[in-house]
Amino acid sequence: KSLNSIPDQSFSMGVFCGDNRFVVAEEKRTVAESIQTASNDGRKTPSSLDVRLVVLKDVDTGRRLGVFTNNTTKPAHDIAFYMLQRWGKSENVYKDLMATFNLNYHPGYDIKELEQQPLVDNPEIALIQKAIKVLKKEAQAIQDEILLTEAKLVKRNDKRNVEKVSALQTALADKQNDIVLFQQKLSTIPDKVSIMEILKGRPMTRCDLEKKKLYDLMQFMAYHSRERLIELFQDCYADHRDINKVLQMITRRPGLLKLAGKTLMVMLEWIENRKYRQAAKQLCRKLNQLNITMVGPFNLTLSFHVVRFP
């Protein structure tokens, strides 16, 4: 209803997406949260945000679609074009990847979930205890050095050793003072704290970001590997309407592995449907023509086959 109230003369720009034509308009809107949401977060006044509403109207059907954005610099037709690229095919690709390969990783902190977690061990305690242990070890080493130097002084009164003992005693006093300060702090901090206190103000760790990069790379490789398989399989299976479904059935088929010299044979189980079986055999022949070899120390050549008998 809100989108339909925008007058037709406001649609002053056009954009294409494939064979579809759209005209674009924009308005400024204020988006506010509900009182209940603000109350749940401990705020009396709901917050609001001024955003742009970019509206796309399909020239052929008249259907209108709205896009909210806080970008104030890009032209409305650019934002419309970018969103049209995201909708439909690309969104389906991500859904398919997540369903097929279960590759969906977004590092971050679920604040609502963390608030319900029980208290955890205070990490400062372990750090302080470790620091005290190191200081005591260093203090003991200094004490041993003092005793050795004093033993030398008993045999021979050397000015350099006298100065060394004095410096060591000063260093020992500093270590002992640090130990006392850490022990005092240890007695004042709580044993348990909320996980929220630990994560407060902490950015995502490098480890989390590296894991995200790894998952992105896995998604990239999985997507392009499958696209390459689809490209090969198009010549093996005539009905393109269910080509993805049939290819997935073949590639997930159980089977056997057989090592023959430097060749690893992948034997897919018998496929009852004759059309699917012939398509699988053609795909195996195409893959074998590529002379695929495994990466790694074994350097084995892969050979794909469908068993001849059920």
Tens of pLDDT, residues 213-251:
777 788 788 888 888 998 999 999 988 888 888 998 999
pTM, entire model:
0.44
pLDDT at 39: 80
pLDDT at 226: 85
Please report, in tens digits, the pLDDT of each residue of the chain (310 residues total): 578 888 888 888 888 877 788 999 999 888 888 888 778 777 788 888 888 999 999 888 888 888 888 888 889 888 888 888 765 566 666 677 777 777 666 555 455 555 566 677 888 888 999 999 999 999 999 999 999 988 888 888 888 888 888 999 999 999 999 999 999 998 888 888 776 566 565 555 556 667 777 777 887 888 888 889 989 999 999 888 888 889 989 998 999 999 999 999 999 999 999 999 999 999 999 999 999 999 888 889 999 999 988 7
Residue 287 three-state SS? helix
pLDDT at 105: 61
pLDDT at 169: 92
Give the H/E segment covering residue 73: none
By CB neighbour count within 10 A (0-12 exposed, 13-18 middle, 19+ buried), where does 6 fall? middle
Are 54 and 62 spatial neighbours (Cβ–Cβ below 8 Å)? no
Distance of CA 31 to the CA centre of its chain: 29
pLDDT at 209: 64
Length of the chain: 310
Largest CA distance in the chain: 106
pLDDT at 88: 56
